Structure 1
Amino acid sequence: MLRARLSFFQGSAPALRSWGSQMDLADERETGPALSPDLSPDPRVSSRDPDAHSGASSAHAGDDDSLLEFAASERSSRDDKAVEELLEVVTRAVARLQLDWPQEKETPKPSKLEDRFLSGGRGEGPQRQSLPFFEDLHDELSKSWKKPYTSRVFVPSTSIYSTIVGAEARGYTMMPQVEEMLASYVSPVSASSLKKPTLPTKPCRTTSALVGKAFQAAGQAGAALHTMAVLQAYQADLLKDLSAGTTITEEAFTELRRATDLSLRATKQTARAIGRSMAAMVSTERHLWLNLTGIKDKDRVFLLDAPVSPSGLFGDPGFRR
Structure 2
Amino acid sequence: MVMAARPATRAASAKIPQVAWSEARPAPVVLVSGPEDLLADRAIRRIREMLAAADPSLEVTDLDAAAAVPGDLTTLASPSLFGEPRLIRVTAVERLSEAFLNETLRYLEAPDDGATLVLRHSGGVRGKKLLDAIRGGAGGGIEIACAEVKRDADRSAFASGEFRAAGRRISPGALRVLVSAFQGDLAELASACQQLIADTTGDIGERTVQTYYAGRMETDAFAVADAALAGRTGEALVLLRHAIDSGADPVPIVAALAAKLRSMAKVLDARGAPAKIASEFGMAPWQVERARRDAQGWQAAGLGRAIVFTAETDERVKGGARDTEYAVERLVTFIAARGGTGT
Which TM-score tier does this pair reach, normalised by the shorter chain?
A: under 0.3
TM normalised by structure 1 equals: 0.19
TM normalised by structure 2 equals: 0.18
Higher relative contact order (CA 8 A, sep 6+): 1
Rg bigger for which structure? 1
